[in-house]
Amino acid sequence: MSRDVLITLLLIICTGSCRMTPHKEPVAALSLLHEDHYNAPVILPKILSDGLVLQRGKEIPVWGKAPAGAPVKVEFAGIEQYTRADGSGNWSVSFPAMDPGGPYTLKVNGRVVHDILVGDVWLFSGQSNTELSVSRVAIRYPIEATTYSNTQIREFRAATHYNFQGPLWDIPAGRWKLCVQEEIPEFSALAFFFGMEWNQKHNIPVGLIVSAVGGSPLDAWLDEATLRGFPGPTGPDHYPERLTALRRECWVDSVKQAETQAMAHYRSLFTPDPGPEGSQGWVPYRVPSFWDQADATPSGPLSQSPGSAWFKKVFYLTETQIGHAQEGAPDQDGMLILGTMTDADRTFLNGTQVGSTVYQYPPRIYTIPKGLLKAGSNELLIRIENYWGPGGFTSGKDYALYIGAVHPFYAMADTVSLEGDDWMARMGSTLTNAGAEYPATTTWHYQPAGLYNALLAPLTQLPVKGVIWYQGESETKRRDYGQMLSILIDRWREDWNDDALPFVIVQLPNYMKDKAPWPMETDWANRRDEQLAAVRARKHTALVVTHDIGEWNDIHPLNKKELAHRVVSAAEYLGAGNRKAPLSPLPQHVVLRGNRVVITFSHAGKGLITKDGPDPAHFALADVQGRYFRASARIIGKKKVAVWCKEDFTPHGVRYAWANDPSEANLQNDAGLPAPTFQWNLNDSK
């Protein structure tokens, strides 16, 4: 009997029939095939690409696509695996768990994946504060941003995409990037600083998978089956109806068309912008301010209408300053730092456009071309455009010219402040119909299940060490967030087949000025409490508290290094089993002692303290009607706080740090980690 006949008989015996799943065939039978048989083209998911980091200590899967029935040979770390693609072209094999190390090479038929490391892999997901790049925070961390390099740290960034038809097999775009200077500016700042510290602590490779989308609501990251059983904001039919509609492409297209027409009509209601010289007369203006503020101009608001406005400032430079500019970088005179603006801007210096930004959040950091500055008079001209709400310059930001400086190094620069009331302004376009409302628009990648299908499900076959979740700024008026986040944790753990998959949840930072003195109601504080509730409801989770490291005037605070340090500590506690790693003190038990409330905290360390010496502040107690009153507090022993009011009533609830920007909150443990925003209803068992 010839060798080819023997192989054919073995394959017939092993497969039984063509209806059986091909990849179930015994490895021994496939291994007898000649090497020439393993030449079928294969497609690997983008996560299995050059620079890949695999999770240590967990079985290693390799999967992909090939022609139906095609034999597939997979070689990794000295081991060979054999399989066949099934009738749909899918195949998969697995390799034994490995210790940290590398680099390794993966070979699949004719495909080769290079430079693979084994270490710890962390998934970072959520909104824009997860995405926020190193380039956005470089002004605060110039040394790390411009000098650090470590090829043991890699980031995989999934490009924004959505799908409503079901989970995708692969993400549309993404690649592994090494932590080197050419790539670091676009790394997630949170993931970057996390990777640095985790690598330093454990001396192993670190994989940072960043699958996050700015502004995305939580339900976009949940699967359709889960959402159909979840009560939505408009009732039990909310998600079934919405998800069914989203599956109909004709409905999606009709909505897009209607919204495009509505936006075109709204834009037609604005007068044409005649430009800086054809607009109404210039008036003095104060920067920073919004143009609807009473103190924007000496006579009151510049305008109460959205639209566009022009702003200019004349400033004078000396020959010495121009000399400094000439001695600086060979391709630039310096940098313009112009805070943030609402919403879009185009910025000109001495008649040359030096920068533009299309939405409100990014800091305006614009390079000044070489030779553009001149001795004597210089003119800065800015056009700001917005279509709803106030427009103008955000207060509390830096507005300055840095001469001879290169971003992000400003220490040796001549600085010219650009703040003050010596600007001039004039309106460009204005809304002709004061009663017109900005038309509703649909952000399609924010819709239910869209991001789960496109950006989460394709990654779930790759084992990870744990999840870092930083999200919650969206839909803050919804009060079912805690319940939904708990369900998301369950769903993702099921997807990764790991009931104890660590989840580190970042509680929202301080942001926005409060509209009234506390105690008051605020959706931002409610959301923080809902994030705490999810941590309390699920094991193997940890809360990272940040209400002391945000910025009241920026939803994207720059202090990502301290945030990453706290996230690393939580990840150490959950993912490395290090019970000495400090966590923020959390309310664990609350009892009523007469008219006093006594709160016991977990994770108090060596003892609760305050960051500024006096007794704890920013506690409030509720009476039977739910009205909150400011309360006094005192630390008792190592882990308890007693809270009481001068008003004589029996407390029915307690709150701490309940504000958008709870600057007075000062309770922390000896590790310097603050207690979270929380509320506790004394009528609940909680």
Q: What is the mean predicted confidence (pLDDT) over 285-307?
A: 96
> 296: buried, middle or exposed (CB in 10 Å: 19+, 13-18, 0-12)?
buried
pLDDT of residue 12: 31
Question: What's 586-681's CATH class?
Answer: mainly beta
pLDDT mean across residues, the chain: 93
- DSSP state letters, 444-476: GGGSTTHHIIIIIGGGTTS--SEEEEE---SST
pLDDT of residue 389: 87
> Which of 517, 630, 470, 497 lies closest to 124 in space, CA to CA?
470
pLDDT exceeds 70 at position 379: yes
Superfamily of 283-430 according to CATH: Galactose-binding domain-like (2.60.120.260)
- DSSP state letters, 524-550: HHHHHHHHHHHHHHSSSEEEE--TTSS
Question: What's 120-220+447-575's CATH class?
Answer: alpha beta
**Residues 562-606: tens digit of each pLDDT:** 999 999 999 999 999 999 999 999 999 999 999 999 999 999 999
pLDDT of residue 33: 73
**Where do the domains of the chain lie?**
3-53+65-98, 120-220+447-575, 283-430, 586-681
pLDDT of residue 148: 97
> 166: buried, middle or exposed (CB in 10 Å: 19+, 13-18, 0-12)?
exposed
**Residues 125-155: tens digit of each pLDDT:** 999 999 999 999 999 999 999 999 999 999 9
Residue 402 and residue 337 in contact, taking contact as beta carbons nearer than 8 Å:
yes
pLDDT of residue 607: 97
**Residues 308-333: tens digit of each pLDDT:** 999 999 999 999 999 999 998 899 99
Residue entry with tokens 């048989």: 37
pLDDT exceeds 50 at position 21: no
Confidence of residue 25 (pLDDT cuts 50, 70, 90): low
Number of other residues whose CB lies within 10 A of the CB of residue 667: 25
pLDDT of residue 280: 63
- Give 202's contacts (C-beta < 8 A, 6+ positions apart): 120, 576
**Residues 512-545: tens digit of each pLDDT:** 999 999 999 999 999 999 999 999 999 999 999 9
pLDDT exceeds 50 at position 4: no
Q: What is the mean predicted confidence (pLDDT) over 449-454?
A: 98
- DSSP state letters, 42-72: -B--TTSSTT-EEETTS-EEEEEE-STT-EE
pLDDT exceeds 80 at position 686: no
- Name the pairing type of β-strands 101-108 and 653-656: unpaired
pLDDT of residue 613: 81
Residue 617 and residue 627 in contact, taking contact as beta carbons nearer than 8 Å:
no
